Amino acid sequence: MTIAAALRAAAARLAATSDTARLDAEVLMAHALGVSRSDLLLRHMDAQEPAMFAALVERRAGHEPVAYIVGNQEFYGRPFRVTPATLIPRADSESVVETALAAYPSPQHVLDCGTGTGALLLTVLAECPAATGMGIDCSPGALAVARGNAAALGLAGRARLVEADWNQPGWAAGLGHFDLILANPPYVEADAPLDPAVRDHEPAGALFAGPEGLDDYRVLIPQLPALLAPDGIAVLEIGHTQGPAVSAIAAVAGFSSEVRPDLAGRPRAVVLR
Ligand code: GLN
């Protein structure tokens, strides 16, 4: 079988599973053959490779996310290793980075609460060569992934990755003060209808936050003033309907807030001052 024919068959197989069936097939083929997507045109399949590719396609047909199958996801132009211990970085969160860098262009000391793969923290550190930062997460599995990403991006010397849980009293003691705090906390409503690729494969602890998806904002936001340097700001990712509720929580904690959109024009980040 030629690569072109195998890709056509795989895209048809995945049409019911994925909105991006052809792209998924190409990414899985590139992974099976150990080449980049653009180099697929130059390759042909060796004896065992059709079966290897078919096995990957069947995993995807069972709703496993492509990023977990290949172990990698690009974010803000950089590769991040991902495992089922971490949420898969999303394009939505790239707009959180853009919002943060527009609102606070040269941060010196950055904190990322719930860092997961480290995507938000490590992207800001890569974009801001003078910055140092800390990423916290309650998941040891996620921290291991974040540490690997920091090393792979050459940022291990500027990123401390620390186990901490903002639901535990005293978690923030001794962390210091930060001029930019980032967070993409869990914010999905407990009974929200989710794509099976998300619901059955991504870590529930990184997604769900009580009946309204607001539990983590209610716990985290009141603790942010003690962590902010004078004139520091916090930039939090939100669900697109959550701007008013998160702004109200922030107002009680003494913050003024501005809601900013993602590339689709939907509310996606809130800037707290
Ligand atoms: N944007 C993610 C989703 O809807 C949720 C991320 C989160 O809860 N922080 O799948």
Q: What average pLDDT does range 170-198 have in this prediction? A: 96
Atom of ligand 1 at shortest distance to CA of 114?
9
Determine the pLDDT at residue 32.
96
ipTM of the complex: 0.90
Residue 16 has, within 13 A of its CA and on its CB side, a CA count of 4
Is any atom of ligand 1 closer than 6 Å to the C-beta of 186?
yes
List domains and CATH numbers for the chain.
3-62 (1.10.8.10), 85-272 (3.40.50.150)
CA distance 268 to 240: 6
222 C-beta neighbours (distance < 10 Å), count? 15
Determine the pLDDT at residue 215.
98
Q: Hey, which bits of the chain come out as E strands?
A: 72-75, 78-81, 109-113, 132-137, 159-163, 178-183, 228-237, 257-261, 267-272
Determine the pLDDT at residue 72.
97
User: Measured between alpha carbons, how far is residue 92 from residues 22, 179, 239, 243 in Å?
Assistant: 22, 23, 10, 15
Determine the pLDDT at residue 1.
79
CA distance 128 to 120: 12
CA distance 211 to 192: 9
Is any atom of ligand 1 closer than 6 Å to the C-beta of 187?
yes
pLDDT at 157 over 90: yes
Determine the pLDDT at residue 183.
98
Pocket test for ligand 1, best of 184, 201, 216 (most atoms within 8 A of CB): 184
Atom of ligand 1 at shortest distance to CA of 188?
8
Determine the pLDDT at residue 41.
86
pLDDT at 80 over 90: yes
Most distant CA pair in the chain: distance in Å? 65
Rg (CA), the chain: 20
DSSP for 79-118, written as a single string:
EEE--TTSPPP-HHHHHHHHHHHHHSSS-SEEEEES-TTT
- Beta bridge partners, 81, equal 72
Please state, rounded to an integer, the average pLDDT across all residues of the chain.
97
Determine the pLDDT at residue 150.
98
CA distance 160 to 73: 22
Going by C-beta distance under 8 Å and a sequence separation of 6 or more, which residues neighbour residue 222? Answer: 249, 252, 253
What are the contacts of 203-212 at 24+ separation with CB within 8 A? 203/84, 203/85, 203/86, 203/87, 203/139, 203/142, 205/138, 205/139, 206/86, 206/87, 206/114, 206/116, 206/139, 206/142, 207/87, 209/185, 212/245
pLDDT at 63 over 90: yes
Q: What average pLDDT does range 133-149 have in this prediction? A: 98
Is any atom of ligand 1 closer than 6 Å to the C-beta of 195?
no
Question: With DSSP H G I counted as helix, E B as strand and the rest as coil, what are the percentages for the chain, rounded to 5?
Answer: 45, 20, 40
Q: What average pLDDT does range 9-20 have in this prediction? A: 97
Measured by CA distance, the residue closest to atom 4 of ligand 1 is: 188
pLDDT at 266 over 90: yes
175 C-beta neighbours (distance < 10 Å), count? 15
Determine the pLDDT at residue 115.
98
**% of residues, the chain, pLDDT over 70:** 100
Is any atom of ligand 1 closer than 6 Å to the C-beta of 61?
no
**% of residues, the chain, pLDDT over 90:** 99
Instruction: For residue 87, report the distance from its CA to the centre of ligand 1, in Å.
Output: 8
pLDDT at 66 over 90: yes
